Amino acid sequence: MNYPAWDVPLLGSGGVLAVVAIFHVMISQFAIGGGLYLPWAERRARAQGRDDWLEYLEGYSKFFLVLTSVFGAVSGVGIWVCIGLANAEATSALIHGFVFAWAIEWCFFLIELTAASVYYSTWRTVDARTHQRIGWVYAGASFLTLAVINGILTFMLTPGSPWLEAAAAGRAPDAFWAGLFNPGYWPSLGLRVLVCASLAGVWALVAASFMDGRTRGPLKAEVVRWSTGWLVPAFALMPFFGLWYLSTVPAEQSELLALGISTIGQGTFTQVTRNAMVVLMSTATILATTYLAAYLYPRDFRPGYALPILFLALIATGAGEQAREMLRKPWVIRGYLYSSGVHATDVEARRAEGYLAHSPWVSEVEHETWRALDEAHPDPSTITDGDDDEALVRRGEMVFRGQCLSCHTRSGYRSLRRLLDGRDVEGTRRFLALLEGGEDSPYRAFMPPLVASPGEREGLARYLARLAVRAEPSPEAPEEAAPEATTKPAPVEKYLVDD
Amino acid sequence: MASSSRGARPSRGGLFAWLDERLGLTDWAAAGSRVRIPDHRATLGYHLGGLALFFFAIQCVTGALLLAYYSPGAGAYESVRRITFDIEFGWLVRSVHGWAAGLMLLCLVAHTVSAGLMRAYRRPRELTWYTGLAMLGVVVALAFTGNLLPQDQAGRMAAKLALHAPSHNPVLGPLVEGLLVAGDEVGPATARRFFVSHVVVLPTMLVALLVLHLMLVLRHGLSKPPEVLEAPDAPPRTIPLWPRFLARDAALWLVALNVVGLLAALLPRELGPPADPLAPAPPGIHLDWYLMAPMHWLRVTARIPGNRGAALGVGGLALVVALLLAAPWLDREGAPEWRRKAVPILGLLVLVAAGVLTIWGYLELWWVSLP
């Protein structure tokens, strides 16, 4: 535990990251697709000598510039702030593993930002050919930012055996190219390019819907129809790339996708299946609604139709990105780094010496107290003294902050109070034993192994049992829930009284 | 339908021509394009009824699927538990059924409000208005009876709460107890009656009312809002029912289907502990949102001591029903101007009161739930 924990009540650190990331992905993928849309439309308009199109595109490029470079860039920085706080260990691993990739991505990004500003401001000041070229420079630079970042994003789920072997031998930087062009790279790049093109179409439809259909009817009809064409590649090719992508997902991870078909139990893991369903459904709806409302009756296409389509695109993007993140559990970098920030190779050593042994966030006095407790009580479950119990609970809370908070909150998103369902100390002890257990443990497919010394584990069990106590105890003692009972109905949330 | 044109058309081969000759598809399309829908600022209001109809179609499909696995009677809770946690996509069907029910009610309430504000209840559309109101009542009953079917504690307590309300009324009390509760206590016998109502009686009534309602809509056309009617020099723009209005409808239905799917995926219907007559009521027990306003009205007026409170409670609800029923008569041609204007104003007041009561009710629940 080398870094402080980011303790965000209710939403959780992951929740904050998700909110920022979904908006960022919406805008940044539009920046790439729209970067192709604008010069392409310009080329078409110039070839056909359409001044009304050029005038419209100039206005649209202003909207594009403001949205992508201001909101896109700011939310991108927001993601860096969030991942650094939410999972510092993973951020560090990604920075160290891909120094060159980040550096070149920033170069492309600077070219992209500059080209966008120049493209917008030179519509009437440079000759047509130069302006067109600036547009293509923008399109190329923005695509290259995607090409790099896609390598790092897919690396986390499918690092590939060459990289993992090199990393195990301590030579991770040597396997840079193998890590970047990992097994998931190409199908994911294909999927993302299709999404970028669709988003270019969707955003262009939103902008065109504000045109007055009565005074600028013919132009509006043309712009709307041409923009719907940008959704066609996605319609035709997405199933192919989607299946290719799924075939690269490791078997244990794709099992998660099947789990949620029959049940809504098992905590939040079945959410992956439901997210996949939302992605499929909203994508199909976007295409069908675009045909019915935009392509058939382009002059009548008003913001009232365009904005729901944009909303559906936001849903599809958000659900897809969240499913991708959840599919990776229990890893941040599969086979290398757990989502709790513990390296796979460190598990045994950290269990032996204690998860908190080298934590700079624990005072020397506390280290001393815990050491003394460990020596006095080889079996920490026998501790009954009030002060010692408090020290144990405090120790447990530190482990909680280090290993649980990156995915859970106390009583908000993935609430532990709800998931623990009123377990007492004996119940939380048994639950933690399952988390620490071997490969046959039902939780091991989705949750990282618990890394704690016996004293730390007992502290965590006591801390969790305190957390699990409901504000208003029910008249009957809460029944001990068997952890295997996956079909047990979840508690009805509206009767739970949270703090 | 102009069937005389059939002979004039050249006979073409192909599936469409085969079907067209037998079903008269081209004639239907021509008839659909002659039905004109006014196109103005409030056009969205015209889609609400169709949207509710779409949700009803979802209810029929998912309801039939649920019936395949649901067993009424003693095994009810276990069968719903299997649907939710064991059967493939059972959770999805059940969640969609639950969410679409709420959205259908929401659409119907909005449809009623929008029709009321357009004063669409006036001559000659009185019966359209009454069949609409009757359907709203049937759908509320459908939602209410469906709630008890899983036989979980929350559903049982909600049914008990609602069925208890009229128990002190000398007329309604025995009627409710004899017909619905079927015994001293809300229990398996009640659930059986609710089941029969939910899957046979109420849907049949709804379909009959629906057919009548649609026939009346086609006969009288759609009502236009007053400001459109009062500008006779500018004839309102219209669009044909087929294909333009229905294309819009289809797009809207797809979006609605997505909203239902999204709600089912993010907030799937959970299942609480089974009904237990000996267990204490869980804290914060309440009826669903659509019954919150009348329920809270009764609760608030009951705080007035003596019989006056109860009289005010029941009387207030009766007045609202009377206003809805009397609207076409109050706002009829030749009636004094103040009386015609009073209807929409009173309607708005009832709407605001219902909103306030609903929010107030939920706030009180939240207040009580605080430790």
When pLDDT is averaged across residues A71-90 and rounded to a whole number, the result is 90
pLDDT, position A492? 35
- Write the residue in A281, A490, A495 that is nearest to B261 by C-beta: A281
Distance, CA of B164 to chain centre: 23
Residues in chain B closer than 8 A to A271 (CB atoms): 265
- Write the residue in A275, A282, A494 that is nearest to B284 by C-beta: A494
Q: Which of A340, A331, A462 is nearest to A2 (CA)?
A: A340
Tens-place pLDDT, residues A119-149: 999 999 999 999 999 999 999 999 999 999 9
B322: tokens are: 């009377």
Residue B316 gets which letter from DSSP?
H
CA–CA separation, A295 and A227 (whole Å):
9
pLDDT, position B337? 85
CA–CA separation, B230 and B346 (whole Å):
22
Query: Which run of H or E residues covers position A17?
Result: helix A12-47
Residues in chain B closer than 8 A to A315 (CB atoms): 258, 262
Q: What are phi and psi of A287, to 5 degrees?
A: -65, -45
Calculate what percentage of chain A has a pLDDT beyond 90: 52
When pLDDT is averaged across residues A243-271 and rounded to a whole number, the result is 79
Burial of A51 (0-12, 13-18, 19+ CB in 10 A): exposed
Residues in chain B closer than 8 A to A497 (CB atoms): 283, 369-371
Residues in chain A closer than 8 A to B284 (CB atoms): 494-495
For B11, residues 6+ apart whose C-beta sits below 8 A from its C-beta are: B17, B21
Chain A with chain B: Cβ pairs closer than 8 A: 108
Q: Which residues of A touch B (CB under 8 A)?
A: 261-265, 271, 274-275, 277-278, 281-282, 285, 288-289, 292-293, 296-297, 300, 304-305, 308, 312, 315, 319, 471-472, 475, 486-487, 489-495, 497, 499
**Contact assessment for residue A429 and residue A459, using Cβ atoms and an 8 Å cutoff:** no
pLDDT, position A496? 32
Tens-place pLDDT, residues A195-213: 999 999 999 999 999 998 8
Whether A440 has a pLDDT exceeding 80, the answer reads no
Q: At A239, which amino acid appears? A: P
Tens-place pLDDT, residues B103-114: 999 999 999 998
- Write the residue in B255, B282, B284 that is nearest to A289 by C-beta: B255
Higher pLDDT, A286 or A329: A286
Residue B344 vs residues B106, B113, B326: alpha-carbon distances, Å: 20, 10, 12
Residues in chain B closer than 8 A to A297 (CB atoms): 244, 247
Helices vs. strands in chain A: H and E counts, helices first = 20, 2
Tens-place pLDDT, residues B231-276: 656 666 788 888 888 988 898 999 999 999 999 988 898 888 888 8
**Contact assessment for residue B244 and residue B38, using Cβ atoms and an 8 Å cutoff:** no
Q: Is A8 left (phi over 0), alpha (psi -120 to 50) or beta?
A: beta
Q: What's the ipTM?
A: 0.76
Average confidence score pLDDT of chain B: 86
Residue B21 vs residues A475, B2, B33, B34, B289: alpha-carbon distances, Å: 71, 13, 19, 21, 50
pLDDT, position A267? 57
Tens-place pLDDT, residues B72-127: 888 899 999 999 999 999 999 999 999 999 999 999 999 999 888 888 888 889 99
Residues in chain B closer than 8 A to A472 (CB atoms): 283, 371
Cα distance from A310 to chain B (closest Cα, Å)?
11
Tens-place pLDDT, residues B33-71: 888 888 776 677 888 999 999 999 999 999 999 999 999
B85 contacts A264? CB cut-off 8 A:
yes
Cα distance from A318 to chain B (closest Cα, Å)?
12
Cα distance from B25 to chain A (closest Cα, Å)?
20
pLDDT, position B371? 59
Predicted TM-score (pTM) above 0.90: no
Which stretch of A190-204, A413-427, B195-209 has the lowest confidence by average pLDDT? A413-427
**Which of A282, A285, A499 is the best residue to mutate to test the B interface, defined by the most B CB atoms within 10 Å of its own CB?**
A285
- Write the residue in B85, B152, B255 that is nearest to A285 by C-beta: B255
Locate the chain A residue with the closest alpha carbon to B261. A278
The B residues from 283 to 342 touching A (CB cutoff 8 Å) are: 283-284
Residues in chain B closer than 8 A to A305 (CB atoms): 251
CB contact B36 to A (< 8 Å) = no
Tens-place pLDDT, residues A458-482: 999 999 999 888 544 444 433 333 3
Average confidence score pLDDT of chain A: 87
Residues in chain A closer than 8 A to B257 (CB atoms): 281, 285
pLDDT, position B336? 87
A363: tokens are: 């005072």
Calculate what percentage of chain B has a pLDDT beyond 70: 90
Q: Is A448 left (phi over 0), alpha (psi -120 to 50) or beta?
A: beta
Three-state SS string across B205-266, please?
HHHHHHHHHHHHHHHHCCCCCHHHHCCCCCCCCEEEHHHHHHHHHHHHHHHHHHHHHHHHHH
Count the residues in chain B: 371
Q: Is B304 left (phi over 0), alpha (psi -120 to 50) or beta?
A: beta
Higher pLDDT, B187 or B52: B52
CB-side neighbour CA atoms (13 Å) of A85: 15
| Residue A338, SS3 per DSSP | strand
When pLDDT is averaged across residues A356-379 and rounded to a whole number, the result is 88
pLDDT, position B355? 94
| H-state helical runs in A249-382 | 251-259, 271-289, 303-327, 347-353, 364-376
Higher pLDDT, B12 or A86: A86
Tens-place pLDDT, residues B286-324: 788 888 898 888 888 888 887 788 788 888 999 999 999
**Which of A495, A497, A499 is the best residue to mutate to test the B interface, defined by the most B CB atoms within 10 Å of its own CB?**
A495
pLDDT, position B12? 61
